[in-house]
Structure 1
Amino acid sequence: MPADQKPTASVWTRTRPGRREHLTREQIVAEAIRLLDAEGVEELSMRKLGTRLGTAATSLYRHVASKDELIELVVDDVYGEPDLPAAVDAARWRAAVTRTATELRAMTLRHPWIAPELGQVGLVHIGPNAMRMSSALLAQFEAAGFGADEMDQAMGTLMAYVIGIATSEAAYLSLIARSGKTEQEWVADLRPAFDEAAREHPRLRAGSSARQDVHPQRIRDDNFAYGLERVLDGLAARLTP
């Protein structure tokens, strides 16, 4: 690196304040997640967070240099929620990857605000939980038989699918939450308008009618599982001699 070029700044590479501080980084992150879960990322500010913690925003800046750094920290903390398989063998790699993907989707739906952040932060995130997640996924693909040159691509393909579908689901569920209705009520209220709009589109009408009595959450779960299986089918085909 040239002498006049500074290293990339990251919350993970800066020295943390001494332990005598009355407020810790962990307390800040935990309260930020509660705020985000309740109000969304648009309402997150250092001033509001300081008020919730009973301190001035300036005290937070001793631990976190900016809102962007705070987002890095909360995303990594949430990445620590999934329960990852401890070990994987070649016979069970698909089950392990399916479990990890399902846990990632559930994590995203528990914290809808995180969905767009995963795409922005995930490419450069070096937090310990994100690294642990990536390492566990790579181990699963290595057990499957992927070479070192293809494990990263297999993992990236899986993550693109999970984050993509979970982002759509999170936005959909947030819209319903703002309506004050349950998902079942919201879908039932929308159905007459959909049926009317689909009168000239028989394929849309047939698909909707076939699942009319299925709970919407079950439909979402089935759709996720179907897509995940097809992604894994495609990846498994790469392993065929």
Structure 2
Amino acid sequence: MTSKPFNSVWFREPRKVASPGRSREEIVRAAMELLDSEGIDGLSMRKLGAKLMSGATSLYWYVANKDELLELVYDEIWGEIAVPDPETVGWRNAVSVMAHSMRQVMLRHPWSADLIGHMPALGPQALTVADRTRRAFKLAGFTGLDIDYANGTLTAYVFGMTIPQIAWNAAMADSDYDSQALADQVAMAAADFPDLLEGIRADQYEDPGTVRELAFDFGLVSVLDGLERRLAK
């Protein structure tokens, strides 16, 4: 049986434009604006062409299809993630900054959650982040496959904490729930569980955004502490 080749926009040279027109950078920037305002379902070649005041067919000179366009904008997301040089700031500071930055970038561009695990991160900016993060774990003392395991553990934590928050934010944005009334209803449902009720009431004294930041940082420090302990064995 003949296997199907894997295609990616990064596996071919960009076409050279024979006449003045839109650049690929302009198209990607406009696509990101559409995605930020309307999400994945709101992006189409027709809408993008209208936004750029050019026909959708002309866009196919730059990208073969919508998937290639999404690969390009996905790489732009990775380009917004900060990863300090681990040899300058130390490995823990480098990966900590990366984790916080990745979370903020995902929250700023919530549609990116729809691409994680579905879209290959093979662009130059994504590979730069991956390479620098990998070097940080190598500098920490991890060797062989443990470097990739540590890297995977960190990114899985970021995704696991951030994607549900994006989903919750979207659900709340599409509803007209009163947040205090909702909290009161949750507290009523948990009336027979005093330990849970204590936690629910404690959260009401803090700004929800602050609680999420503290929770994320608590988990991140715990993950990095665990990884560091493995090095001590």
SS at match of 2:232: coil
190-199 vs 100-109, greater mean Cα deviation = 190-199
Of 5, 10, 13, which aligns to 2:11? Answer: 13
Does residue 176 of structure 1 match 2:172? yes
- Deviations, residues 30-82 of structure 1 (Å, cap 9, x unaligned): 01100010011111111111111111111111111111111111110111012
Taking only the aligned residue pairs, the percentage that are identical comes to: 41
Aligned to 1:42: 41
What residue is the counterpart of 2:192 in the other structure? 200
Q: CA shift at 1:5, angstroms?
A: 6.6
SS of 1:164 mapped into structure 2: helix
Distance 1:96 1:189 in 2: 41
The letter of the residue matching 1:189 is A
Counterpart in the other structure of 1:105: 103
Measured on the aligned residues, the alpha-carbon RMSD in Å equals 1.8
Unaligned runs of 5+ in 2: none
Note the C-alpha offset of 1:178.
Answer: 2.5
Offset at 1:84? 1.8
Are 1:26 and 2:18 counterparts? no
Residue 232 of structure 1 aligns to which amino acid in structure 2? Answer: L
Mapped to 1, the partners of 2:97 and 2:171 lie a distance apart of 27
Give the whole-Å Cα distance in 1 for the aligned partners of 2:229 and 2:82: 27
Unaligned 5+ segments in structure 1 are none
Partner of 1:118: 116
The alignment's TM-score, normalised by the length of structure 2, stands at 0.92
* Deviation at residue 189 of structure 1 after TM alignment: 3.0
Tell me whether 103-112 or 197-206 shows the greater mean CA deviation: 197-206
Code of the residue aligned with 2:149 in structure 1: it is: Q
Q: CA–CA distance in 2 between the matches of 1:188 and 1:88? A: 47
- Deviations along 1:103-151, one digit per CA (max 9) or x if unpaired, are 0000000001101212222xx3210011001001001101111113211
What is the distance in 2 between the residues matched to 1:64 and 1:180? 39
Contact 1:75 1:118 in 2 (8 A): no
Change (3 A) 1:164 1:116: farther
Q: Which amino acid aligns with 2:55?
A: A
Aligned residue runs from structure 1 range 76-115, under 5 A: 76-88=75-87, 92-115=90-113
Conserved 8 A contact 2:15-2:62: yes
SS in 2 for 1:179: coil
1:160 aligned to 156, 162, 167, which one?
Answer: 156
Which residue of structure 2 lines up, in the alignment, with residue 144 of structure 1? 140
Cα-to-partner distance string for 1:137-185 (whole Å, 9 max, x where unaligned): 001101111113211111111111111211111111122223368xxxx
User: Hey, what's the Cα distance between the residues in 1 that align with 2:83 and 2:25?
Assistant: 22
| Contact 1:94–1:232 (8 Å) recurs in 2 | yes
Q: Distance in 2 between matches of 1:163 and 1:115?
A: 8
Question: What TM-score comes out, normalization by structure 1 length?
Answer: 0.90
Asked whether the equivalents of residues 84 and 94 of structure 2 are also in contact (C-alpha less than 8 Å), the reply is: yes
| Contact residue 85 and residue 94 of structure 2 kept, 8 A | no
Q: Specify the alignment match of 1:228 in structure 2.
A: 220
Find the aligned partners of 2:46 and 2:152 in 1 and give their Cα distance: 36
Q: CA shift at 1:211, angstroms? A: 2.3
Q: How many Å separate the matches in 2 of 1:198 and 1:5?
A: 54
Cα separation, 2, equivalents of 1:43 and 1:212: 35
Q: Distance in 2 between matches of 1:58 and 1:13?
A: 22
Aligned mates of 2:176, 2:126 — CA distance in 1 = 34
